[in-house]
Structure 1
């Protein structure tokens, strides 16, 4: 039992660390692309994010077993996409890759770009959207937490596709607040 309590506290801290790091990464953009620093922050936050989200999904495994298994798998694809976009930021800066260079590479290798970025990219916001909907529907969290997750998930794709920094920061905030609230709840060990 004590092991579970300690694990849950670490998972809560991991959620807070990953939410904070994702907010920080958005401040490291140059033009419309993440810098190497932003990319590294995104990459290094993924293990914390996976551990923290695993705690959320574990908590609901008995209440929603089918959703939990598929939802977490979907989330893991989203985590891979986060690493991919982080690596893109690192490589763009290290090798001086510009947006026109990326557009040419996309046309030359459409299948690779589609698989690495566009096919799995929506997995993260979709997993957050489904989590928020299930938390709201099953009344497993406070309504405002579920609603902010839903709004953050809905705003994620347009904020990332448009690369408008204000929209990205707003989206980050919509996700940051509920993730910190859930993390703090896990740390305090409240149901």
Structure 2
């Protein structure tokens, strides 16, 4: 018998599975000439708060079938999302406030290759890469329906294709591809009356 607290944690994780990608989706509508700007950057930074429980939920679906991957993969995903997402979000926020051009801050960041790599350029790619590997493993272990895992996989591929060149149309597509499966999984977490620890089953 699982406690009411366990179920509350699941419902909170389900809520975060919805809010995190939703904030990503909303943020891209506030891009300014391919730059985050103040509003988009703020939304990205706020989304990180929800991404952490969301990742716990997703990797938790594999904690029994792939315990080592679930633990190590979670850590890598949090590093990529939190460090990279928060780093680029704050960079966009501060550069907009202080009116620093994209070219100018790139030149300055090149003067600090190690720290810039740790905080931004190395951590950032780990977010979509983590989603890509996670989606494959969720499908392999039948933890989610194949089509949900496939959508996460497509979103992981589309994410860097939109964020690196900052193409808004592709960004909207990537965000929708990510929101749909996480929305469905999140709703099932919220509606569940028993602890989910192996797979997301059909309603």
TM-score w.r.t. length of structure 1: 0.94
- Whole-angstrom CA distance in 1 between matches of 2:94 and 2:36: 10
Answer whether contact 2:14 2:54 (CA < 8 A) is retained: yes
Determine helix, strand or coil for the equivalent of 1:108: coil
Segments of 4+ in structure 1 off by > 4 A? none
Alpha-carbon RMSD across the aligned residues, in angstroms, is 1.4
Shift of 1:106: 3.1
2:56 counterpart residue number? 54
- Whole-angstrom CA distance in 2 between matches of 1:62 and 1:139: 12
2:110 counterpart residue number? 107
Contiguous gaps of at least 5 residues in structure 2: 193-199
| Aligned partner (choices 20, 23, 31) of residue 22 of structure 2 | 20
Determine helix, strand or coil for the equivalent of 2:110: helix
**If each structure's helix is expressed as a fraction of its own residues, which one has the higher value?**
1
| Aligned partner (choices 157, 164, 167) of residue 164 of structure 1 | 167
- Whole-angstrom CA distance in 2 between matches of 1:25 and 1:92: 17
Shift of 1:84: 0.5
TM-score w.r.t. length of structure 2: 0.89
2:144 counterpart residue number? 141
Shift of 1:111: 3.0
Shift of 1:133: 0.2
Shift of 1:157: 1.3
Contiguous gaps of at least 5 residues in structure 1: none
- Whole-angstrom CA distance in 1 between matches of 2:61 and 2:107: 45
Cα deviation 1:64-106 (Å, max 9, x = unaligned): 1011011101111122211001101110111101122123213
Answer yes or no: is 1:187 the counterpart of 2:181: no
Aligned length: 191
User: Are residues 90 and 4 of structure 1, via their aligned partners in 2, closer, same or farther at CA, if it must alter by over 3 Å?
Assistant: same
